Chain A
Amino acid sequence: MGQTITEKIFAAHKRDTPAPDNMVLDLDVIMCHEITTPIAIMDLVEKGMDRVCDPTKIKAVIDHVTPAKDSKTATQAKIMRDWAARHNIQDFFDIGQNGVCHALFPEKGFIRPGYTVIMGDSHTCTHGAFGAFAAGVGTTDLEVGILKGVCAFRAPQSLKIEVTGTLQPGVVAKDIILHIIKQLTVNGATDMVIEFCGPVITAMNMSSRMTLCNMAVEAGATSGVCLPDEVTAQYLWPFIKDEYDSIEAAISDFSKWHSDADAVYAKELSVDVTDLSPQVTYGYRPDNVKDVAELAGTKIDQVYIGSCTNGRIEDVREAAAILKGKVVAPGVRGILTPATPGIYSQALEEGLIKIFMDSGFCVLNPTCGACLGMSSGVLAEGEVCASTTNRNFNGRMGKGGMVHLMSPASAAAAAVTGVITDPRQLSS
């Protein structure tokens, strides 16, 4: 019987089978940020277990609240900083080098096809875009990962989603994933890995693939995954060029992580995106999704462009294309936070930051910031935000605030008009 990519990765990393349906896997990468890691560090210290399995496997960043906003966040950052120094963790990213974990770590080439990756963060599924098994975990799993280099999972089932058709101009990966979550519902993929495939995925760049995989967890999935191919190899080439004679050699090696033609899936779904238009969420669940046109005219107070979903250079370009030569509507606050310093300087170089600033946007340093309502753009009661992030839960960006999730182009269009707007009306 054939295997899915996830089954192949599990088989290649299996350390133990504590029960017929559970596997303990060896981990390749353990990622850490300052919200969920300090409490793990403190617990390990308290138990006399302040060790790390292998400092080269650990990648750490201060990203959620940076620079620190108060004594408590400063303490969290300090615990991380001291720990990284104490254990000689070389890949530790602090002010000046730091950015949103799920944008920064791929950019550094840390994630490779076939890897097993965990982090104390639910959007770790983003890294499945590289053909890896990457799952968000809680602090105890993170603790054990740091200490022992292993993590336990139920043998996951796979949900195959074939994406076909031709995307209309102005319709992007964010619209596709919102449309998919609407179909699956918020728990339609629980205990499953969503495998994205088909011609639309093959034609996508890594940034769009990351946007898709990023939101797999919003349908309850353990992770999302794309099969590693030429696009993956091109992206990773600067980091792997010493390991392979040619890109072709890398592509052919990566193909060992492709699902077999006779692999068995728990569910299969085909999505034709030809007629898809820009999508937006309403209400407090990410599966509450409509066409942007249906919500057109809804007044907004703030626009937030950034996050691990849509804070990459391609997203900044997409929004800038709408904003160019226009200004933010009166009474609307526009906030851009490029997800990493690399993205920020690239945007500077391309003149995109100037477009944002000329239009009246505030440009922040790379951080999670308002995405989780902890700093830099928290909403007041009753305020409405057009946001490129991934969660519209009640209170997510500030108590009593309403978040409408959408693509960078749609968010930029809302900034200009002050109301939810189909971006295609502005780009033509």
Chain B
Amino acid sequence: MKRFGGQAAFINRDDINTDEIIPAKYLTEITKTALKPHLLEDLHLEGQIFDPHADEIQKANVLVTGSNFGCGSSREHAVWALEVNDINLVIGKSFARIFRQNMFNCGILAIELQQADLDALFAMPGIITISVDLEQETITAVSDAPETETRTCSFTLNSFDKQLVAAGGWLNFADQNY
């Protein structure tokens, strides 16, 4: 099975919508790779400048964010834009239904954490690397900053979501079962 996790990028905002993840003007693309340079291109963060091409985003395999991530348009392009940028895991307080389903349908992970755990992740200094144990339903965050404690948080995934990830996505699952 695919391995999940890696270096994390942090975007502390709620309600990031799919227009912000990938603007509508790129919906005319008919290949997923064409979306690669445009991830989070239109994202605005109050009081700070967000640069989607910053190192933190470019090197990330994991995105950590707030609540209701992926709301708005149903475009799976939002998930593909993450995928083609090697992001295989989004961690947040909650997700919009269609976005969340699209993630698991593509065989990658959208994991919901308690607010206290999320706050702790956001507070960790240094470069953070996150790994996932699907069996134990835990994620572990390790910082490269000296004397920073490693943090392990638990989550729950329902068994259907796990089956989708194991099958490599909904198309494979449906083809095997229906």
Residues of A within 8 A of B (CB): 15-16, 18-22, 24, 35-36, 38-39, 42-43, 47, 49, 64-65, 70, 72-73, 75-76, 79, 120-122, 124, 136-141, 143-144, 147-148, 150, 152, 186-187, 190-191, 220, 222, 285, 372-374, 391, 393-396, 399
Whether B68 and A393, one on each chain, are in contact in the complex, defined by CB atoms closer than 8 angstroms, is no
Whether B19 and A395, one on each chain, are in contact in the complex, defined by CB atoms closer than 8 angstroms, is yes
Minimum CB–CB distance from A18 to chain B (whole Å) comes to 5
Contact of B97 among A43, A222, A374 (CB under 8 A): A222
Write 16 A-B pairs (CB below 8 A) sorted by A numbering.
Answer: A16-B178, A20-B159, A36-B75, A38-B30, A43-B171, A136-B98, A137-B98, A138-B101, A147-B171, A152-B170, A186-B68, A190-B68, A220-B71, A222-B97, A374-B24, A399-B23
Minimum CB–CB distance from B32 to chain A (whole Å) comes to 8
Whether A141 and B19, one on each chain, are in contact in the complex, defined by CB atoms closer than 8 angstroms, is no
Whether A122 and B44, one on each chain, are in contact in the complex, defined by CB atoms closer than 8 angstroms, is no
Q: Which residues of A contact B72 (CB under 8 A)?
A: 122, 391, 393
Answer whether residue B28 sits at the interface, using C-beta atoms and an 8 A cutoff: yes
Which residue of chain B is the closest to A371 with respect to CB atoms?
B24
Minimum CB–CB distance from B68 to chain A (whole Å) comes to 4
Q: Which residues of A contact B30 (CB under 8 A)?
A: 38-39, 42, 72, 75-76, 79
Q: Which residues of B contact A220 (CB under 8 A)?
A: 68, 71, 96-97
Which residue of chain A is the closest to B106 with respect to CB atoms?
A140
Minimum CB–CB distance from A287 to chain B (whole Å) comes to 9
Whether A140 and B96, one on each chain, are in contact in the complex, defined by CB atoms closer than 8 angstroms, is no
Q: Which residues of A contact B15 (CB under 8 A)?
A: 186-187, 285
Whether A152 and B24, one on each chain, are in contact in the complex, defined by CB atoms closer than 8 angstroms, is no
Whether B169 and A140, one on each chain, are in contact in the complex, defined by CB atoms closer than 8 angstroms, is yes
Minimum CB–CB distance from A135 to chain B (whole Å) comes to 8
Contact of B170 among A73, A120, A141 (CB under 8 A): A141
Across the A-B interface, give the 3 residue pairs with the lowest CB-CB distance, nearest first: A138-B76, A138-B102, A19-B160
Which residue of chain B is the closest to A223 with respect to CB atoms?
B97
Q: Which residues of A contact B105 (CB under 8 A)?
A: 138, 140-141
Q: How far is the CA of A394 from the CA of B23 in the complex (A)?
A: 10
Q: Which residues of B contact A393 (CB under 8 A)?
A: 17, 19-20, 72
Q: How far is the CA of A352 from the CA of B42 in the complex (A)?
A: 38
B21-48 interface (Cβ within 8 A of A): 23-25, 27-30, 32, 42, 44
Whether A16 and B75, one on each chain, are in contact in the complex, defined by CB atoms closer than 8 angstroms, is no
Contact of B158 among A21, A186, A394 (CB under 8 A): A21
Whether A140 and B20, one on each chain, are in contact in the complex, defined by CB atoms closer than 8 angstroms, is no
